């Protein structure tokens, strides 16, 4: 009954700690997803922020694949109906249309579930968007295991591996609502195509204000440390910060880096962490094959050899279940990340 008194979002996101079972009845309660103010939720500011940008930039247009409510692009539609397009359940066509519009001088934002964006639409992202250098911003929301109950077809644990291998494509992961605002503002005049990865939309706050110094390809060090570095992105950044606090109680000084841009990767931040800390643990809500961990490993294997471990989802299809239980199951909550860091240092 201890969990009942904990914050509902902490429970849902898996940051509350404790032994969480995939069969725990607590996680079947729909109320567990509520509690965070809408202004702090990425899912509730996407359309609003794009509409604000469009107020001053006639180039901006928004497309979705019948998910205007889920991704809140309907907020954009209300303010700019002439620049909003619902392409129906036809994600590949949406991406091609977005590329065609971009070829006419528009800056297009096309949003759908991550599983139906980067995975289903890989051909369109490569050939129609990235290859001709179109200013298309593909927004893959509900990434990772965040659609836990919907099963494998709706899980997106391969999207980073796919997108970071596509030439001339910028790949970035939003951490929270304010971070997403920074990404969208910086994306308007960024050259070429881009994949923006969002979580479920109820990700806990990391940035209390919009980070003004945000730049693509420039990681953000959120916590200094000398013993071990946690390099993370997206939905697990808050859990990594919480894990660092737990490690501090055991005398372990952990650095936490938000490696929001997967491509181009901030290789300088990786090398600096390798020089200044004793080990590196990457943390991601993604298959450990080909994602953030693999990108960091590629840097380390070429120059710096230190204790290193990738932490994420193993190379398997995850079971169906509520997200918080899945995060705990794969040790992607604060307790699990702290235990992984301790194991790395002991090894």
Catalytic residues: 91
User: Taking a C-beta distance cutoff of 8 angstroms, is the pair 191, 133 a contact?
Assistant: yes
For residue 284, the tally of other CB atoms under 10 A from its CB is 30
For residue 188, the tally of other CB atoms under 10 A from its CB is 17
In three-state form (DSSP H/G/I as H, E/B as E, the rest C), the secondary structure along the chain is CHHHHCCHHHHHHCCCCCCCCCCCHHHHCHHHHCCCCHHHCHHHHHHHHHHHHHHHCCCEEEEECCCCCCCCCHHHHHHCHHHEEECCCCHHHHHHHHHHHHCCCCEEEEEEEHHHHHHCCHHHHHHHHHCCCCCEEEEEECCECCCHHHCHHHCECCHHHHHCCCCCEEEEECCCHHHHHHHHHHHCCCCCEEEEECCCCCCCCCCCCCCCCCCCCCCEEEECCCCEEEEECHHHHHHHHHHHHHHHCCCCCEEEEECCEEECCCHHHHHHHHHHCCCEEEEEEEECCCCHHHHHHHHHHHCCCCCEEEEEECCCCCCCCCHHHHHHHCCCCHHHHHHHHHHHHHC
């Amino acid at each position: 009954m201890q969990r009942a008194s904990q914050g509902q979002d902490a429970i849902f996101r898996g940051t509350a700690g404790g032994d969480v079972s995939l069969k725990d009845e607590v996680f079947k309660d729909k109320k567990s997803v509520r509690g965070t103010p809408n202004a702090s939720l990425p899912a509730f500011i996407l359309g609003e922020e794009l509409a604000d940008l469009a107020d001053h930039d006639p180039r901006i247009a928004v497309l979705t694949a019948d998910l205007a409510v889920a991704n809140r692009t309907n907020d954009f539609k209300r303010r700019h109906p002439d620049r909003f397009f619902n392409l129906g359940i036809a994600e590949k066509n949406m991406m091609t249309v977005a590329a065609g519009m971009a070829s006419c001088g528009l800056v297009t934002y096309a949003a759908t579930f991550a599983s139906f964006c980067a995975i289903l639409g890989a051909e369109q992202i490569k050939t129609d968007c990235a290859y001709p250098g179109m200013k298309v911003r593909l927004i893959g929301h509900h990434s990772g295991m965040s659609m836990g109950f919907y099963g494998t077809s709706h899980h997106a644990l391969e999207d980073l591996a796919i997108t970071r291998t596509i030439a001339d494509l910028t790949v970035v992961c939003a951490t929270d609502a304010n971070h997403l605002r920074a990404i969208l503002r910086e994306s308007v005049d960024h050259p070429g195509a881009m994949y923006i990865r969002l979580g479920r939309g109820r990700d806990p706050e990391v940035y209390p204000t919009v980070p003004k110094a945000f730049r693509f390809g420039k990681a953000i060090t959120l916590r200094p440390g000398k013993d071990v570095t946690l390099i993370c992105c997206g939905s697990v950044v808050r859990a990594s910060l919480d894990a660092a606090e737990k490690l501090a109680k055991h005398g372990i000084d952990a650095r936490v880096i938000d490696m929001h841009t997967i491509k181009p990767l901030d290789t300088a931040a990786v090398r600096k962490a390798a020089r200044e800390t004793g080990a590196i643990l990457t943390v991601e809500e993604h298959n450990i094959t080909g994602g953030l961990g693999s990108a960091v490993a590629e840097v380390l294997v070429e120059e710096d050899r230190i204790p290193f471990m990738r932490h994420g989802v193993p190379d398997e299809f995850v079971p169906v279940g509520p997200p918080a239980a899945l995060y705990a199951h794969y040790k992607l909550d604060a307790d699990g990340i702290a235990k992984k860091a301790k194991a790395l240092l002991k090894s």
